[in-house]
């Protein structure tokens, strides 16, 4: 049963999730599995794998984020934004993607899960102009850190804003290539229960 499996995975971490939040996370996985058959939203087909590769992979970064207003760029089916919005109802998340079918799916998720802290936006990142700058840009979609900071610099506050890149192996080569106005704040090796392979969160900021 998916719920028991998710509870067991969460128990292997220091993440605190209520019964309601666990139910919402399972509902999200079930919706993703259902819509995936038609919309092809993720290459992960097995809901049990989704619990590890999508849900836990997203949740483990939550405690490392600073601030309350975030944008998830290239969110795809809502990763990591939807799991994080469920775990942190006090934080706000804009989920940005250029593909209409993904935004349609996200609207359905928000409606069915009754999420009030999520705004899906269909736009290319370079064309999106927020009314207020974000505390952090989140993404696991960019191929390189350089791409992420060059496309997203207009989205974060210059003093406090952060870029949070979810990566696999530690991206040493990419860090060397970063422009001079961007610095590495910290890197975190993430422990995702029962996930094969390395995961890292890279935190960057603009030089003042």
Residue-wise pLDDT tens digits, 120-175: 999 999 999 999 999 999 999 899 999 999 999 999 988 899 999 999 999 999 99
Q: Is the pLDDT of residue 180 over 90?
A: yes
Q: Is 6 annotated as ligand-binding?
A: no
What's the confidence (pLDDT) of residue 179?
95
pLDDT in tens, 45-75: 999 999 999 999 999 999 999 999 999 999 9
What rounded mean pLDDT belongs to the chain?
Answer: 97
Q: Does 91 appear as a known binding residue?
A: no
pLDDT at position 157:
87
Share of residues in the chain with pLDDT > 70 (%) = 100
Residue 185 assigned as binding residue: no
Domain that holds residue 71: 2-206
pLDDT of residue 141: 87
Q: What is the dihedral of CA 109, 112, 118, 123, to 10 degrees?
A: 40
Tell me what percent of the residues of the chain surpass a pLDDT of 90. Answer: 96
Residue bearing the bigger pLDDT, 49 or 208: 49
**Is pLDDT of 208 > 80?**
no
Establish whether 140 is an annotated binding residue.
yes
Overall domain count for the chain: 1
Query: Which residues, 6+ apart, have CB-to-CB distance to 149 below 8 Å?
Result: 163, 178, 179, 182, 204
CATH number at residue 24: 3.40.50.150
Q: What is the mean pLDDT of residues 23-27?
A: 98
- Within 10 A of 58 (CB to CB), how many other CB atoms are there? 25
The crossing angle, in degrees rounded to 10, of helices 2-11 and 19-39 is 120
Instruction: Please check if 109 is assigned to a binding site.
Output: no
């Amino acid at each position: 049963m998916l719920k028991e499996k998710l509870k067991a995975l969460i128990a292997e971490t220091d993440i605190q999730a209520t019964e309601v939040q666990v139910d919402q996370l399972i509902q999200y996985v079930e919706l993703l599995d259902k819509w995936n058959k038609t919309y092809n939203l993720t290459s992960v087909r097995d809901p049990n794998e989704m619990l590890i590769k999508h849900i836990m992979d997203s949740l483990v970064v939550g405690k490392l984020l600073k601030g309350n207003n975030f944008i998830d760029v290239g969110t795809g089916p809502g990763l990591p934004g939807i799991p994080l919005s469920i775990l942190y109802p006090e934080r706000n998340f804009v989920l940005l993607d250029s593909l209409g079918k993904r935004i349609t799916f996200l609207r359905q998720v928000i409606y069915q899960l009754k999420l009030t802290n999520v705004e899906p936006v269909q736009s290319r990142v370079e064309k999106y102009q927020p009314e207020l700058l974000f505390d952090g840009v989140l993404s696991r979609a960019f191929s390189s850190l350089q791409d992420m900071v060059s496309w997203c610099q207009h989205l974060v506050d210059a003093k406090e804003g952060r870029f949070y890149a979810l990566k696999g192996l530690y991206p040493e080569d990419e860090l060397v290539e970063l422009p001079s106005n961007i610095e590495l704040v910290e890197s975190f090796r993430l422990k995702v229960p029962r996930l094969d392979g390395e995961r890292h969160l890279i935190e960057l900021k603009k030089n003042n």
